[in-house]
């Protein structure tokens, strides 16, 4: 039943591709960093499409697949572009094994990691408790050293100490790495990490003294492929050697040696946050791809100036749709670029940490906190905005965006609640403010904008009066404006605290500072990405346009107020900047399909009837709906029988017959 | 296993109640408008708690209940406070019957409404098609008059014309009121409404020529108690009398009489939007109640100044939590108050419409469009913010907020997509701008701020220099600021269009205008509510505090930029206003539990382990989780057997045995 209107949908999306001002393939290489990574990612996509297990179980077994096929490190890295991997195995690899490798001695790693890699044991990372999440120091599970048997006793004093939310613990895990207060001779040495068995590998029954189970469904049907669990411990005995002792140690006489640097164990936490940055970008990219394609093929209203061909206007041609989707495309790119850079920085930092050198930690910690906060919030808000921009059909499960948001949105509250992390950004920058106040200079690149406060630049708004349109597109002007705003917000915070406001009263100031710091970082990384391309590459201009849109989106759309209240931009200049912003959006909209095609998602990954590559949204939606079991005679049998009995008998039967 | 820490949770919430500066009961009366409505609502809550059907099926059968128990109109109105009613019956009553009553002749109403009330037939409202939602004029289903048989032929020309999303059509409906293009002798008279049978009341099989079914799950698991459906018609014959003919008519000779006023049929659409305003407020109220209670009993971190009792700080004492939740409480109140007022206005308008008097329609239409846009967006954004403010546990299904958002969020795109409706607000206000430009005066109360443009007031920012703190809390100053901002945004829109920008290019300007208009309306209604209370009532001050918080939330938190760019507020004054804002939040936070208790939701309605009245969040969460079937031996049997086989056999068995 393919009619002209239906055929038009495929024509519309192909036309958009043909009209694009650049090659989506070239842009893919920019996004993925190297052609090689893109190639591997695409091979993985094929593998995923053809893997019966994956087809049946979704992405659940992708990690495992990685193991079985013995992928190289680079290939595994490319995996991160292919899909979000949520399964009991995700944290087995990303947390259980990673923590043992990072915090165990080499002997401990040799003992446990091989067994874990072969899945002879299944692990999880048991930190959060029912009563303690953000306050890790306040965890109540205890690990008490028993000198007589050279063992630790793992114990949960009450319900609030129950381990909770632990991914993989609900059904799968046989072991956990468990954060517990180390207690020796009645003295508490704070949280340390212990390997604790929870289920027998012989019969999978709970280990004696362990109460373990699944915590039930999550909001929005999200993360339903992960078995989040709980566990309580009743004096469970483990050998002393089950404490991870790379940094801190306990001897068989109960002597405690503390780590050289008390933050050496932070590496694992930072690592998880680093991964979240590019991931947030790719997830927003998926949502933006779906919404861009669907609004390209959906037509609605003839408008004031009807098309010559008699067709209604493409929904993507409406300025409201462009103003909602185009900025989000620029955000997705910015997150991916920043995520790539910080992952490299992290690798370097980690090498140093392994040698007990924590010098890079404070700055990376500050940057990842700010970026984790910003990227998870903007990405998940943006995903839902994409869904809304699709109108009514966006609410169908078959739009595919619902599942992205449902599983991504807890990233706002896990791996450090965003509002808690924002305070750490505030604290970190206050230290730099102190340096400036003492006449010093901030040498850390990502915070160097703080030096504005020591210069004449800090006293007045950026002068944009002359040739405004050109000035606001100058990368240096943009970085100046973003840096000035961030620096002045920090200076104002310092002032507020000086005038007597309590630290607990300035959470929101820290929130705005975290955003300002993240946006400065994202903008400068975007500019560095452009500098890394050869200047005569045809792809440079389209990337630059997106960087400009990213910059002006922050100023005109998301976060106008702090630019104005800090005087980084004058109210009088806003009209002209908004006019440039509108031009940028209209320009990006012309290439929206190419910009999103460049993420190179397969239809399988997008899992969307409305966002497939061929644009045949209505036909695919119709097909998806026909597969509903409720639409078969058998599927309706019980319902129809029930309704016949309660609605259509007796008096009602007579009434209906007369109509 | 109730320990001191667990008991403390109940103590914390009861202490908050005791410390409240006003009676929650008194505040309930303010919210519900009359003590009588509150009493009835509470009776309905009891009824719902004790109704086995309701206990089993959730709120699904509440409407039906209303029918069976023969509730009065007032009682039915009180129902709207008790729960969101989403079931196949919702639209049977709210749309199918309502449309026949509003747009059918008295004879038609007599024939169909009685049968429908007795559920001898089940109806739905079939307007949206796969290819047409917002553009109702573009619907493609046709109703062609056949003179020979005095019948209409209902027909879907292709897939894009399939009726889609129709609530109640998926499984339940036997009939629909169907929007279709009326065609007589080849001439198209535009969309009209026809009663079309879709399933037989004898055997529930589809009527000959009808393809009907269910469209599958919705995003986020929302609305899963409603059977949204699709239908296609292949030349389905219905008697001429099945066209609803209160306004337009077709005679048995095929003569067409058009309605006296071409917008007389808009009443039904307006009605659905009117209902959404208070509903949005109550849903946000539910989410805010849950989040307020949970953050009152959850404690985390000792903070810089540890509590004397050795307990960690209550999460609600953190400024970031207060800054997120307190404004939302003020929003929920504002929506409920405005919703009540506009419902009364609508009743008056509807009485006039029934007498073919459409004079009130333009203003009510404008107000309901702006309020629908604002309330659905702010309410659903706010619900999700409440969930996030609860931290990690907010993501559990047992927090209860997920389901509220999942079912509420499509209100942004249904009953008129928000961005489409915003354009109607822009258009409406441009007409008033025209009046001003011609030297006229705008007499419509809700748009009277447009008159600022004709006065000296319009030329400069509101002078707040003297006694700033006091001035910004003056209701007249607030209304002046809000009115000035709205008026100047409209004036700027007029200017932009004059300078040559196309109407299709100014969607976002209309969006901001819709928000400004809604906020002006909500603020003035809040002030009117205060005026309606007797001045010596002790409850006035707490209500006034919330009105002030509502006003300053718009200025300081949500929408600062337009106040600054329109010059309604000067940048230099923002610091002082923010300081007042912070004081208001801290003040409201002291009474947060009382403000939310006043919504008077039952634990049953909230359906939240974390937000129950007694504050025992952890114990209730534990209980909810223990009910998980996966936590029984039987429930785990298959999983354990499978894992034993694939993980713990052969080589792996040996490896694990050695650990």
Residues 140 through 169 of chain A touching chain B, CB cutoff 8 Å = 157-160, 162, 165
- B615 vs A contacts (CB less than 8 Å): none
Last residue of a domain, one of A245, A277, A308: A245
Of B565, B640, B659, the CB nearest to A204: B640
**Residue pairs spanning A and B at CB distance below 8 A:** 349
* Res A43 pLDDT > 50: yes
Interface test with A, best of B124, B171, B219, B567 (most A CBs within 10 A): B219
Is residue A567 in a domain?
yes
Residue A402 contacts B, CB cutoff 8 Å: yes
Give the highest mean pLDDT range of A25-34, A172-181, B628-637: A172-181
pLDDT in tens, B241-289: 999 999 899 999 999 999 876 666 677 778 889 989 999 999 999 999 9
* Res A62 pLDDT > 50: no
Q: How far is CA B456 from CA A496, B80, B461, B484, B494, in A?
A: 37, 45, 11, 11, 19
- B508 vs A contacts (CB less than 8 Å): 319-320, 323
pTM of the predicted model over 0.90: yes
- pLDDT given at position B467: 62
Domain extent for A646: 629-658
Residue A419 contacts B, CB cutoff 8 Å: yes
Same domain, yes or no: B495 and B382? yes
Of A122, A213, A567, the CB nearest to B631: A213
Greatest extent of chain B over all pairs of C-alpha atoms, in Å = 93
Chain length of chain A? 659
Active-site positions of B? 415
Mean pLDDT of A613-641: 93
Residue A314 contacts B, CB cutoff 8 Å: no
- A493 vs B contacts (CB less than 8 Å): none
Is residue B624 in a domain?
no
Residue B110 contacts A, CB cutoff 8 Å: no
The closest alpha carbon to B276, from B80, B143, B36, B569, belongs to B80
pLDDT in tens, A422-466: 999 999 999 999 999 999 999 877 899 999 998 866 666 666 655
Least reliable range by pLDDT among A35-39, A390-394, B83-87 = B83-87
Of B323, B388, B508, the CB nearest to A508: B323
Same domain, yes or no: B279 and B254? no
Token pair of B410 as six digits: 């499509």
Question: Hey, which residues does B187 pair with through a beta bridge?
Answer: B184
The proportion of chain B whose per-residue pLDDT surpasses 70, expressed as a percent, equals 91
**DSSP class of A245:** -
pLDDT band at B67 (very low <50, low <70, confident <90, very high): very low
Residue B541 contacts A, CB cutoff 8 Å: no
Residues A229 and A170: beta-carbon distance below 8 Å:
yes
Is residue A343 in a domain?
no
Is residue B35 in a domain?
no
B219:A402 CB<8 A: yes
Same domain, yes or no: A650 and A531? no
B304:A503 CB<8 A: yes
Residue B9 contacts A, CB cutoff 8 Å: no
Of B221, B227, B398, the CB nearest to A220: B221
- pLDDT given at position A374: 98
Residues A192 and A246: beta-carbon distance below 8 Å:
no
**What are the respective helix, strand and coil percentages of chain A, to the nearest 5?**
60, 10, 30
- pLDDT given at position B533: 95
Residue B43 CA to residue B30 CA, distance in Å, equals 18
Mean pLDDT of A372-382: 98
B397 Cβ neighbours under 8 A, 6+ residues apart: A216, A217, A218, A219, B403
Consult the annotation and say whether A128 binds a ligand.
Answer: yes
- B312 vs A contacts (CB less than 8 Å): 135, 138
Residues 360 through 389 of chain B touching chain A, CB cutoff 8 Å = 384, 387-388
Same domain, yes or no: B307 and B255? no
- pLDDT given at position A65: 45
Residues A136 and B312: beta-carbon distance below 8 Å:
no
Burial classification of residue A130, based on how many CB atoms lie within 10 Å of its CB (0-12 exposed, 13-18 middle, 19 or more buried): buried
Is residue A473 in a domain?
yes
- pLDDT given at position A459: 65
Same domain, yes or no: A240 and A96? yes
- B134 vs A contacts (CB less than 8 Å): 300-301, 391
A625:B114 CB<8 A: no
To the nearest whole Å, the CA of A26 is away from the closest chain B CA by 31
Residue B528 contacts A, CB cutoff 8 Å: no
A653:B511 CB<8 A: no
B401:A1 CB<8 A: no
Phi then psi for A416, rounded to 5 degrees? 95, 110
Residue A595 contacts B, CB cutoff 8 Å: no
Same domain, yes or no: A562 and A644? no
Mean pLDDT of B490-518: 97
- B403 vs A contacts (CB less than 8 Å): 219
Of B399, B414, B625, the CB nearest to A392: B414
pLDDT band at A487 (very low <50, low <70, confident <90, very high): very high
A413:B388 CB<8 A: yes
Consult the annotation and say whether A229 binds a ligand.
Answer: no
Same domain, yes or no: A102 and A180? yes
The proportion of chain A whose per-residue pLDDT surpasses 70, expressed as a percent, equals 91
Token pair of A501 as six digits: 């406001």
Mean pLDDT of A393-422: 96
Last residue of a domain, one of B538, B562, B596: B596
* Res B309 pLDDT > 90: no
* Res B74 pLDDT > 70: no
Same domain, yes or no: B478 and B383? yes
Same domain, yes or no: B450 and B380? yes
To the nearest whole Å, the CA of A135 is away from the closest chain B CA by 6
Greatest extent of chain A over all pairs of C-alpha atoms, in Å = 93
Residue B190 contacts A, CB cutoff 8 Å: no
Same domain, yes or no: B383 and B312? yes
B134:A159 CB<8 A: no
Q: How far is CA B388 from CA A261, A532, B222, in A?
A: 34, 38, 18
End-to-end CA distance of chain B: 34
* Confidence check on the interface: ipTM exceeds 0.90, yes or no: yes
Least reliable range by pLDDT among A490-494, A639-643, B80-84, B375-379 = B80-84
* Res A619 pLDDT > 70: yes
Residue B638 CA to residue B641 CA, distance in Å, equals 5
pLDDT in tens, B548-585: 999 999 999 998 999 999 999 999 999 999 999 999 99
- B425 vs A contacts (CB less than 8 Å): none
B130:A628 CB<8 A: no
pLDDT in tens, A228-271: 999 999 999 999 999 999 989 999 999 999 987 666 667 777 88
Same domain, yes or no: B175 and B295? no
Residue A555 CA to residue A514 CA, distance in Å, equals 16
Residues 316 through 335 of chain A touching chain B, CB cutoff 8 Å = 317-321, 323
- A573 vs B contacts (CB less than 8 Å): none
Q: Report the alpha-carbon angle A288-A508-A331, nearest 5.
A: 15
Residue B216 contacts A, CB cutoff 8 Å: yes
Active-site positions of A? 415
A648:B303 CB<8 A: no
Is residue A321 in a domain?
no
Residue B357 CA to residue B267 CA, distance in Å, equals 11
Residue A260 contacts B, CB cutoff 8 Å: no
Is residue B281 in a domain?
yes
Count of domains forming chain A: 3
To the nearest whole Å, the CA of A568 is away from the closest chain B CA by 12
pLDDT band at B60 (very low <50, low <70, confident <90, very high): very low
Of A138, A201, A392, the CB nearest to B133: A392
CATH number at residue B201: 2.40.110.10
Residue A560 contacts B, CB cutoff 8 Å: yes
Residues 81 through 100 of chain A touching chain B, CB cutoff 8 Å = none
Same domain, yes or no: A566 and A475? yes
Residue A597 contacts B, CB cutoff 8 Å: no
Residue A133 contacts B, CB cutoff 8 Å: yes
Last residue of a domain, one of A191, A219, A245: A245
CATH number at residue B590: 1.20.140.10
Q: Tell how strand B187-197 and strand B175-184 pair up.
A: antiparallel
More confident residue, B303 or A418: A418
By C-alpha distance, the chain A residue nearest B640 is: A204
Mean pLDDT of A530-557: 96
Is residue B629 in a domain?
no
A621:B130 CB<8 A: yes
């Amino acid at each position: 039943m393919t009619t002209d209107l239906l055929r038009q949908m495929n024509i519309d999306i192909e036309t958009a591709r043909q009209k694009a001002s650049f090659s989506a393939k070239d842009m893919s290489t920019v996004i993925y960093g190297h052609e090689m990574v893109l190639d591997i990612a695409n091979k993985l996509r094929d593998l995923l499409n053809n893997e019966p297990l994956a087809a049946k179980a979704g992405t659940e077994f992708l990690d495992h697949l990685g193991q079985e096929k013995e992928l190289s490190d680079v290939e595994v890295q490319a995996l991160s572009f292919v899909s979000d991997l949520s399964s009991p195995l995700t944290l087995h690899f990303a947390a259980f094994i990673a923590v043992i490798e990072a915090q165990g001695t080499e002997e401990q790693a040799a003992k446990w990691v091989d067994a874990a890699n072969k899945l002879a044991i299944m692990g999880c990372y048991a930190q959060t408790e029912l009563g303690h999440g953000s306050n890790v120091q306040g965890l109540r599970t205890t690990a008490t050293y028993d000198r007589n048997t050279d063992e630790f006793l793992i114990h949960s004093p009450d319900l609030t100490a129950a381990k909770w939310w632990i991914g993989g613990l609900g059904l799968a895990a046989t072991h956990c790495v468990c954060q517990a207060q180390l207690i020796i001779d009645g003295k508490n040495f704070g949280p340390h990490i212990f390997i604790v068995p929870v289920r027998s590998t012989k019969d999978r029954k709970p280990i004696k003294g362990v109460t373990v189970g699944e915590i039930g469904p999550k909001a929005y049907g999200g993360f339903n492929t992960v078995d989040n669990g709980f566990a309580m411990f009743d004096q469970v005995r483990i050998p002393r050697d089950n404490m991870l002792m790379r940094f801190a140690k306990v001897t068989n006489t109960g002597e405690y040696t503390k780590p050289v640097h008390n933050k050496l164990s932070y590496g694992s936490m930072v690592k998880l946050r680093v991964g979240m940055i590019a991931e947030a970008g790719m997830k927003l990219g998926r949502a933006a791809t779906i919404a861009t394609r669907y609004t390209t093929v959906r037509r609605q209203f003839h408008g004031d100036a009807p098309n010559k061909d008699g067709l209604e206007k493409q929904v993507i041609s409406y300025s409201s749709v462009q103003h909602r989707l185009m900025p989000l495309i620029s955000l997705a790119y910015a997150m991916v670029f920043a995520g790539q850079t910080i992952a490299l920085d992290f690798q370097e930092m980690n090498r140093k940490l392994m040698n007990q050198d924590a010098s890079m930690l404070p700055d990376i910690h500050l940057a990842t906190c700010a970026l984790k906060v910003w990227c998870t919030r903007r990405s998940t808000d943006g995903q839902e905005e994409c869904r809304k921009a699709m109108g009514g059909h966006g609410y169908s499960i078959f739009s595919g965006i619902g599942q992205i948001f449902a599983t991504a949105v807890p990233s706002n509250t896990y791996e450090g609640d965003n509002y808690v992390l924002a305070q750490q950004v505030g604290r970190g920058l206050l230290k730099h403010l102190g340096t400036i106040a003492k006449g010093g200079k901030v040498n850390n690149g990502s915070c160097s904008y703080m030096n504005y406060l020591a210069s004449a630049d800090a006293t007045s708004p950026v002068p944009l009066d002359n040739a405004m349109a050109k000035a606001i597109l100058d990368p240096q002007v943009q970085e100046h404006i973003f840096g000035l705003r961030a620096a002045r917000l920090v200076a104002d915070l310092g002032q507020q605290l000086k005038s007597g406001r309590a630290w607990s009263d300035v959470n929101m100031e820290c929130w705005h500072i975290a955003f300002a710091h993240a946006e400065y970082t994202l903008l400068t990384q975007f500019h560095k990405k452009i500098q890394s391309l050869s200047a005569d590459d045809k792809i440079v201009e389209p990337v630059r346009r997106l960087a400009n849109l990213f910059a002006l989106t922050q100023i005109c759309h998301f976060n106008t107020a702090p630019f104005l209240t800090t005087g980084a931009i004058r109210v009088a200049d806003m009209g002209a900047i908004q006019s440039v912003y509108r031009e940028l959006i209209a320009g990006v909209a012309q290439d929206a399909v190419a910009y999103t095609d460049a993420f190179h998602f397969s239809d399988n990954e997008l899992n969307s009837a409305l966002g497939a590559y061929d644009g045949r949204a209505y036909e695919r939606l119709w097909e998806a709906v026909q597969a509903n079991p409720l639409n078969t005679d058998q599927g309706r049998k019980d319902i129809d029988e029930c309704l016949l009995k309660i609605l259509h008998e007796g008096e009602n039967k007579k009434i209906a017959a007369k109509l």
